[in-house]
Chain A
Amino acid sequence: MSETTMFLSILVCAICSFIPRVLPFLCFNGKKEVPRTVTYLGNTLPMAVMAVLVIYCIKSVSLSAPRESAFQLLAVAVAMALHWWKNSPLLSIGVSTILYMVLLRL
């Protein structure tokens, strides 16, 4: 891949990352009141989206790769259980990621 293509891709990604961040500041610049519906979605959507993202990450779990799938599900369970128990992101993410990498090499 050429450097130009790579940096062009990064540029597109950077712009598209910024758009959702700047949008509310452009739309609701203080003059208009924020509609109730938007506030409501702002409160509820993050929880729902996070659930969707967890599923999105383990979407490749399938019967065609039972071993990798089992490891992935196990590591997710470990991450969640550890986090429920110890409440330390570093610990939960670190331990489960290392566990997954080790399991893959068995």
Chain B
Amino acid sequence: MQEFRFAAKKTVPVLCGYLFMGAAFGLLFVSAGFPWYAALVCSLTIYAGSVQYAFVPLLAQQASLGMIGAMTLLLNARHIFYGLSFVESFKKAGKVRPYLIFALTDETYSLLCGTAVQPPMRQGRVFFWISLLDQCYWIIGTAIGAFAGTALPFDMTGVDFAMTALFAVIFVEQWKSAKSHRPAITGLVIAVVFLIVLGPEQFLLPTLLVTVFFLLLQRKKLEGVIGHE
């Protein structure tokens, strides 16, 4: 119980964010002509903000399964690096470990990173409650948006801007806390150059690959600044 209360307190910022973002997804999804229950299935099984937003137009255009898979892998590839931080600590989580791995979103990741668990509280339990509560907020938000979208005859054009705003906000947050701005600038410059050269449809994958390459080139210099942790 102590662990649950601790987790509930920790997750308040995510509660606000996820209700809003979840509702925006729910709205977007039903206003594209899909049923409300499918929106809930998405938030239950996919549970990835940016992916779910990008998924709506793909589904609406009846994109191929290959296209949907590729886009999802690309957008979520950054999660590979989130898991690395928790390879050790999740081992002690026991039965809930698979769920912790599944539910490791950007926001949950940042909460878990910033949470120091003192005994007698068990870290595994705290991590589990934080992860579960976050997903509950996301699903509740989705439901609110899906039902509001079905009930209200509003024109919701432009609501998808919430995704752009989310990325802009995370970008600002990372910029403020970063010890070096080189990685951010590297990504920014390469993205703009490739966008101009290759156009909006083709630039994402090459940009990510070249960004990784350039980050590796700057490794000696950057490891000195940000440390090895």
- Whether, in the assembled complex, B96 has its beta carbon less than 8 Å from a beta carbon of chain A, the answer is no
CB-based nearest A residue for B55? A13
Q: How large is the interface on B (under 10, 10 to 19, 20 to 34, 35 or more residues)?
A: 35 or more
6 A–B pairs (Cβ distance < 8 Å), ordered by A: A36-B228, A44-B183, A47-B187, A51-B171, A58-B164, A59-B200
Asked whether B211 lies within 8 Å of A49 as measured between CB atoms, the reply is yes
A68 to B144, CA, bound (A): 28
CB contacts under 8 Å to A, within B1-58, are: 13, 16-17, 20-21, 24, 34, 38, 41-42, 45-48, 50-51, 55, 58
Does A70 make an interface contact (CB < 8 A)?
Answer: no
Known A53-B50, A97-B165: A12·B65 in contact at CB below 8 Å: yes
Q: Decide if B104 is an interface residue (CB 8 Å cutoff).
A: yes
> Can you name 10 extra interface pairs (CB under 8 A) apart from A9-B68, A47-B183?
A6-B59, A17-B46, A21-B102, A34-B84, A36-B228, A39-B228, A50-B167, A57-B164, A58-B164, A80-B168
Chain A interface: which size bin? 35 or more
Q: Which of A8, A28, A59 contacts B87 (CB 8 A)?
A: A28
Q: How far is the CB of A98 from chain B (nearest CB, A)?
A: 9
Closest chain-A Cβ to B196's Cβ sits at a distance in Å of: 11
Q: Is B73 an interface residue (CB 8 A)?
A: yes
Task: Judge whether B13 and A89 touch: CB under 8 Å.
Answer: yes
Check if A65 is an interface residue, CB within 8 A of chain B: no
